[in-house]
Structure 1
Amino acid sequence: MIREFALFAATVLLTACASSPPPAVLPSPAPQGAVGASLIQPASGSRRMDLARNRRFIHPNLETSTLPAYPADLLALRLAPVVVCVDAVIDVAGMVSAAKVRRDDDCAPPVGLDTAAFEASALQAVRSWSYAPALLCEAPPDFDGDDACQADDAVETPTAVRLSYAFRFSQQAGAPQVERVGGR
């Protein structure tokens, strides 16, 4: 019995002393950035569509979109959030026919920061978007209802529009954070 106990104890000790592989060391995750986007009010002084009672505007519907990417070479800098505004012209077919960075009192770049990489990313993304085109519904001039698009002989005409977007590029300690920019 003593011999069996000694054999058992030796087996337990040898098992306990057996080396197990060291725990795997996982690489630190690469810094990530987050991008949020919002439709914002057009710049002050922009032309606005004036609609008579027999007309109604139908906003374009975004069908395909990709958010801009946070510029990879700037992730390690751990920058404060950067907001970039873009004006996009949506043509009668629903394609982005023009896009440019918007700079005004509502969309001013951070002082002292080169935002070119953020702007390029935002422009590249917006230029790839497509929409169901904006429509202008027009009923006969004597139309007296609430919705010109519901009139029996209403005419829907695709129309070009300009939309303004704000993109917020942000990160905190390499982890993404998405925030909505703007009031809607």
Structure 2
Amino acid sequence: MVLPAAAPRMQLSETQGLLMAVSIEQPMPLYPESAAGGDGRTEVCVSFVVTADGQVSEAAHAPGVDTCAERPDPALVAAALDAVSRWTFFGAAICEYPQGVTPAPDCSGEDAVLRAVPIRLMYAFTFERVGGRGRVAVRRA
């Protein structure tokens, strides 16, 4: 994942592990009819927080991150933000183990104590128009 230099980071201790947020539903945006231009390809990055209960909040356009466009068509940005606002997740969690117990990669074990936490994610939407037909793909950025 590409993070801006000033982005907050969480450091896990030797007795902690992380369960990453897992998507439940990720409806894709449609290529907006109102998007300007002819055939071509544009990537739009969107950053958002998955709350402890798995909802999306703080969705925002992240221009110029990764391979994403600095100034994409506003209709493409709006389509990406609208789609992300409808996504849902199993939220992320920190698992904590007693001193001397090695954390399992999947946070399993009777000694594990799970604590739901918010996590910031970023996705890149590729909007492509070929022969007048639009299509959209997504990847984690």
User: What's the TM-score once normalised by structure 1's chain length?
Assistant: 0.66
1:131 aligned partner:
89
Task: State which structure, 1 or 2, has the greater radius of gyration over its C-alpha atoms.
Answer: 1
Separation in 2, partners of 1:133, 1:182: 16
Over 3 Å off, 4+ runs: 175-183
Structure that is richer in strand per residue: 2
Structure that is richer in helix per residue: 1
Q: CA RMSD in A?
A: 2.3
Matching residue within 42, 62, 71 for 2:32: 71
Gaps of 5+ in 2: none
Is 1:109 aligned to residue 67 of structure 2?
A: no
Q: Percent identity?
A: 29
Matching residue within 54, 57, 78 for 1:120: 78
1:147 aligned partner:
104
Residues 41 and 79 (structure 1 numbering): CA distance in 2 closer, same or farther, change over 3 Å? same
Is 1:95 aligned to residue 55 of structure 2?
A: yes
2:118 aligned partner:
160
2:15 aligned partner:
54
Deviation at 1:80, TM superposition (A): 1.8
Deviation at 1:51, TM superposition (A): 1.0
Gaps of 5+ in 1: 1-39
User: What's the TM-score once normalised by structure 2's chain length?
Assistant: 0.84
Q: Secondary structure at the match of 2:35?
A: helix
Which AA in structure 1 matches 2:111?
Answer: D
Residues 163 and 105 (structure 1 numbering): CA distance in 2 closer, same or farther, change over 3 Å? closer
Question: How many residue pairs are counted as aligned between the two chains?
Answer: 139
Residues 140 and 134 (structure 1 numbering): CA distance in 2 closer, same or farther, change over 3 Å? same
